[in-house]
Structure 1
Amino acid sequence: MKKLSILILLLNFNLNLAAKSNCDCASELDFVYEQIQTTASFKDQIKGEKKLMFKENYQKLRAQMKDEQSKLDCFWKLNQLMSMVQDKHATLTENPSSLDEKNLQNSSFIARYRETDEFKNFPRSDRNLDELAKSLDGKSLDEVEGVYTIGSKLKMGVYRVAEDSLVGVILESQDEIWEPGQIFAYLKQSNIDSHFDIMHYGTNQKNLKFSKAQFFDHGMLFPSVLKENLKNNHAWIDKAAEDSYQLSNLSDDIQYVWLNSFSRTTKPKDRDALISQIQTDLTAKNLIIDLRNNGGGADKISLPILKELKKKKVNIYVITNFFTGSNAEMTTVRLKDKFDAIQLGQRTYGAISYGSNYGKSFNSPSGLFNFYPTDMRQREFIEFEEVGVQPDVKLNQESDWVEQTIAYIQNSDK
């Protein structure tokens, strides 16, 4: 059984690992080392003593790469170097292999894929799956260990292998590209409570991804990775996109709008329609702005809405979840600073200070990995990078978050 040196030291567990070990990780590390230094975040943060520490860490990692590295081990090391810079927008991912959308619809291709070394040697756990499933049964929603569903076709068991490290293994699969025993994710406790650095595979293309400081709360690891016994996920808003940007009346003195995105390509018409609604229909003294699931977008969408709201005498309450990101986080801060808005719900994602103006990305020397840099900054939001914007009022998972916000407003009015 082959062992990954860094992951074994880090996670302290035994796995049947992929035999493929053809990654020239030293050149990949050199690539990341050079690329990360071009980012706005590196130039902001890594100066003086920190720059020396960054170089020392690079040299220490490179010294471990005299021999060829497995792809998995290499990917972890590359992200450890990147993690020295606080920038959730800058990412490194594995380029997808042949598992593209077209091939995934081809049963003959999938049958051939299951006979390849890539499939047969995919990283696996050596745990007895029946025994593992029994040991994880009944874990509470507040424990990261437990049984999860991944979409509608996969079931995963997450089990602890060290005090700060866990592994997620497929327990059941109705998806032909996955099979029980294969590893889906590696989790390591970050320096923030209830947050994990997660190295995981894409559900469809099985390419490596890295999620930094991912927030685990009440059985939700990712939007599609949920504890099996989670009946109601009130943090996540489950609505059709068509329901957004519609001002509605909840009571005589409370109105509501869900802003699901600030995309400059899809939202200009919705923005203009909402502004017209605000001008004519916003009459209540309280307005709930729901920014859950809003991954961001552009100021040209969000700022005109805020400008119109500024003309109204209205108390604003903004609901956020962990998947409120980027420009939606900026909007949250602006609402709190300029409108004295009350924020309710969960912390935001923490990808707020940096962004990509050009959207360019770069392949590593081997072509295995792709680096997506940031080239723009907004320094006024740096304190929220990676830690997110914390709510004034945390909402619980026991009931609907809009209803809880209504109750909060009504109690505040008494």
Structure 2
Amino acid sequence: MMKTSFKLKIELYFAGLILLSTCSLLAQKVTCDCKQDLNFLVKKIKKSPAYKNDYRGKKRTFDQKLSPIASKASSKMPLFDCYLLLVETMQLINDRHNIVYGNAKFDADMLKDQGELEAFKETAFYKMYPHFSGDLERLQNNLSEKPGQSIEGIYYAGKSLEIGVVKDNLAGNYKMIVLRSELPLWKEGEQLGILKMNNKGRALAVMGNYSTKTPISITTGFKNGEFISLNLKKDTTQTSFWRAAFADKTYHFEQLSTKVSYLKAGDFSGFYPVLGEAEKFYEELKKRTFAANLIIDLRDNGGGGNRNSDILFEILENLKNSTQFFVLINQNTGSNAEQFAVRLREAKAATLLGDRTKGAIAYELKGDISILPSNFFKVYLSSKRHREYLPYEGVGIEPDVFLDYSKDWIAQTQSIIDNEIN
């Protein structure tokens, strides 16, 4: 149903209220009092368990690291540049659960409505991203010649976005430029975000959400021309063998052979309805007969809580004398799922296979969300530390066996099991 002109004007008015006194739209460039936001963020960080763990007795060290970041902040700073500084500040503490992100007023479902979409186009998040100033066609031609294993090149986020990743030698990172877009929010030439690579083949992506443009930061790996956690790849025909099997199911059990059983635990959420689905699955699991070898698939399990995972752990405890465990992990295995993998390896001498996990394992989130003074950003900080997992924080759990990204991971695991049996 079409919205009335009056109703649309009302929506545009309220959308405009997002721009508070500390921020403004100047010549279509969104600016913000970044100094105020940064000071607020630092005060919050200094109360966090990660800060107390990392800088106990070393307050001056933190201040020294913060100084060059804070010196860049200004009272009228472009919003995207300010967001980069806030994310950089958050990286000063080793806690992958902590995150600063956009204080969104629109979600993906709302933006399917044409009236809501038009209202969103008047807001800061729609206008905050820089534009590529060079020749877009020349950039596309240059990037098309980059080899498959190069970080630079042309990537695809599904069928709707074509992204050029190009080295920014001055800043020491990579820019993500929209080369083609079938999405109403993104236009050709806009900068989707940046990628900061580290020396371990992983990157921090600071970018706008594909479907809402909300600024977010994501740690992602890079393998075979694919940024693992961004659903961004050079070759869309390439099978992502690292992903969890049975994509349409959160929990699944299957007899792969007389010698091998398979169990997928795709989510350890401690809240309903997921917890209810898990409880039902676990009750059915108790009635199952397991083979001598069990593949436990924790790929893409971002975690949850012991309220869920403890039930499964107890079931597996009862199998320890009769079943050998082979646990699949990948770069998206995080938090409570990482803890679960460590517990299995320590309690049952389980073999871990796949790739190094996310490294968001030692801290716990309990709802401490604060809105920064500009009203553009939120900060979500952890409130509890699990000391026994600190060695894995920011590093991840290394598997006993690294698997080949170009071959099916379950088939590779079955081959390893067959070799052990024979």
Corresponding letter in the other structure for 2:364: G
8 Å Cα contact 1:244/1:257 also seen in 2? no
Identity percentage of aligned residues = 28
Q: Deviations over 1:43-63 (max 9, x none)?
A: 2221123x2111233344334
Gaps of 5+ in 1: 1-16
Q: State how far apart, in whole Å, the 2-side matches of 1:305 and 1:119 are.
A: 44
Q: Could you tell me which residue of structure 1 aligns to residue 154 of structure 2? A: 147
Give the length in aligned residue pairs. 392
Match of 1:106 in 2: 113
Q: Indicate how the Cα distance of structure 1 residues 378 and 365 shifts in structure 2: closer, same or farther if over 3 A, else same.
A: same
CA change 1:28–1:412 in 2 (3 A) is same
Q: Equivalences for 1:291-302 in 2 at 5 Å?
A: 291-302=298-309
Partner of residue 292, structure 2: 285
**Residue type at the aligned position of 1:334:** R
Change (3 A) 1:327 1:115: closer
1:129 to 2:136 alignment: yes
Q: Is residue 2:237 matched to residue 1:254?
A: no
Aligned to 2:188: 180
Structure 1 residues 74 and 299: CA distance shift in structure 2, 3 A: same
Could you say which residue in structure 1 is the equivalent of 2:96? 88
Supply the distance in 1 between the matched residues of 2:284 and 2:119 (Cα, whole angstroms): 56
SS at match of 1:317: strand
From 44, 47, 50, the counterpart of 1:38: 47
Task: Report deviation, 1:121.
Answer: 7.0
Question: How far apart, in 1, do the equivalents of 2:281 and 2:126 lie?
Answer: 50
* Matches of 1:275 and 1:109, distance apart in 2: 42
CA contact (8 A) 2:193 2:207 kept: yes
Could you tell me which amino acid in structure 1 is paired with residue 215 of structure 2?
Answer: L
2:239 matches 1:232: yes
Report the Cα offset of residue 355 of structure 1: 1.1
- CA 71–247 in structure 1, closer or farther in 2 if over 3 Å, else same: same
Q: Match for residue 353 of structure 1? A: 362
Give the structure-1-normalised TM-score.
Answer: 0.87
Structure 2 alignment gaps of length 5 or more: 1-25
Partner of 1:211: 218
Residues 226-235 or 70-79, more deviating: 226-235
> 2:421 — aligned with what?
413
Aligned partner of residue 251 in structure 1, secondary structure: coil
- The answer as to whether partners of 1:223 and 1:236 remain within 8 angstroms in 2 is no
Q: Output one character per residue of 1:250-302: Cα deviation in whole Å (capped at 9) or x when no partner.
A: 11110001100011123444444444444432331100000011111111211
Task: State the SS of the aligned residue for 2:166.
Answer: strand
- The yes-or-no answer on 1:330 pairing with 2:339 is yes
**Post-superposition offset of 1:239:** 3.0
SS of aligned partner of 1:281: coil
In the alignment, what sits opposite 1:78? 86
Name the CA shift for 1:83/1:394 in 2 (closer, same or farther; >3 Å): same
Deviation readout 1:116-168 (Å, 9 max, x if unpaired): 89756741112322222222225444322111111331111111122842111
Question: Aligned in 2, Cα 1:18/1:412: closer, same or farther, shift over 3 Å?
Answer: farther
Displacement of 1:103 in angstroms is 4.6
CA pair 18-168 structure 1, distance change in 2 beyond 3 A: farther
What is the SS of the residue equivalent to 2:29?
coil
1:29 alignment partner, one of 15, 38, 44:
38
Deviates more, 1:28-37 or 1:230-239: 230-239
CA contact (8 A) 1:18 1:122 kept: no
Q: Check conservation: 2:73, 2:85, Cα contact below 8 A.
A: no
What is the Cα deviation at residue 25 of structure 1?
A: 1.1
Aligned to 2:316: 309
The answer to whether the 8 A contact 1:154-1:174 is kept is yes
CA distance in 2, matches of 1:121, 1:209: 13
In structure 1, what is the equivalent of residue 13 of structure 2? none
Root-mean-square deviation (CA), in Å? 2.4
Distance verdict in 2 for CA 1:290–1:125, change over 3 Å: same
Contact 1:87 1:351 in 2 (8 A): yes
CA distance in 1: counterparts of 2:115 and 2:50, whole angstroms: 46
Deviation at 1:209, TM superposition (A): 1.3
Query: Which SS does the other structure have where 1:167 is aligned?
Result: strand
| More deviation, 274-283/246-255 | 274-283
Task: With the length of structure 2 as denominator, give the TM-score of the two structures.
Answer: 0.86
Task: Measure the CA separation in 1 of the matches of 2:93 and 2:152.
Answer: 29
In structure 2, the CA distance between the partners of 1:88 and 1:218, relative to structure 1 (3 Å rule), is: same
Between the aligned partners of 2:143 and 2:67, the Cα distance in structure 1 is 41
SS at match of 1:124: coil
Structure 2: distance between partners of 1:166 and 1:329: 29
Cα deviations by residue, 1:198-257 (Å, 9 ceiling, x for unpaired): 211111221211224x2111222134222235521111125344x343321111110001
> Does 2:166 match 1:159?
yes
Helix, strand or coil: the match of 2:295? strand
Name the CA shift for 1:230/1:196 in 2 (closer, same or farther; >3 Å): farther
Higher mean displacement: 257-266 or 64-73 = 64-73
